[in-house]
Homo-oligomer: A and B are copies of this chain.
Amino acid sequence: MSSIFGKIFTVSTWGESHGKAIGAVVDGCPPGFAISEEYIQTFLDRRKPGQNALTTQRKESDIVKILSGVFEGKTTGTPISMIVENSDHHSEDYEHIKDWYRPGHADEAYDSKYGFRDYRGGGRSSARETIGRVAAGSIARKILNEKCKTEFNAWLALDESAIETARKNGDSIGGIINLNIKNPPKNLGEPIFDRTEALLAMAMMSIPATRGFEIGKGFEAAKMTGSEHNKFADGTYGGITSGEDIFCRIAFKPTPSILQLQKAKNKNGEVGEISVKGRHDPCVALRAPVIVESMAALVLMDLWLQDRAI
């Protein structure tokens, strides 16, 4: 259960969907940067549900508290512990399916791997885990912005009608998030395994429901000639950033939780039909842009510190 990300600027996330709280510990953060709960909150607010008509109606207040690592408003270089209490439990929503494996979910996988699981709302595999990533990412992006003017902007190429249709049908739909990194620091990325694109790919593909990653021209590059592609500002060369903008695309599969009746298995291998009630987004990518930005910030922050070392 590796819940630790990064080499120097490390993030350790913890917490289950319907447990007492969700949180993250950031270790290796440089000292002297101004960080406040209010600042972090602005990013969590972008992630939380109930933001618009299209997202789930679960109304978490999702208020972050900083428990350590900040003194008199500034990072001290010590671990920054952040916590968000889980306030809006509807554990009973999951009682009716506690013995069933929701199709497309990690339920069966967790049972198989660990022997049992916290069945309430996906437990650890819930998208609520990403709260910790967003909180940590908000620190990383602030430092990169102050030091290098780096900006992270992600957006969903939104097809509102397809989402609305999916919702009406008790169904869901996938989506693609675009990410633009403006003014990334130059010289980031370690050649060979820890290339910038490799770590960005890992970071993005560690977000629940992701199925694809592209950087630069992505799959289109496969059809281009060298004379064409060489003219393109690719952002990374040999895994190292050039300082040019970086552009990525991330594919999300449709939310597997749907109201429609689906065939499902249970622990005993029996087959039945279930409807996953809960309160779920018809498109999981709706709330993902800030998560994508946060993971990108974590990658670049860690590489930035590594590059300073040599």
Which A residues have a C-beta under 8 Å from some C-beta of B?
Answer: 1-5, 7-8, 10, 12-16, 19-23, 25, 27-32, 65, 67-69, 71, 74, 76-81, 83, 103-110, 112-118, 123-125, 129, 166, 169, 171-176, 186-187, 190-195, 197-206, 208, 210-219, 221-231, 234, 236-242, 249, 251-258, 260, 262, 285, 305-310
Residues in chain B near residue A123, CB distance under 8 A: 71, 76, 78
Chain A contact surface mostly = mixed
As for how many copies of this chain the complex holds, the number is 4
In the complex, A123→B236 CA distance in Å?
18
Cβ-defined contact, A174 with B68, below 8 A = no
Q: Which residue of B lies closest to A215 (CB)?
A: B211
Indicate the member of A30, A107, A239 with the most B CB atoms within 10 Å: A239
Indicate the member of A206, A226, A231, A237 with the most B CB atoms within 10 Å: A226
- Shortest A197–chain B CB gap in Å is 5
5 tightest Cβ-Cβ pairs between the two chains A and B: A106-B238, A202-B202, A172-B226, A109-B240, A14-B79
- Shortest A218–chain B CB gap in Å is 4
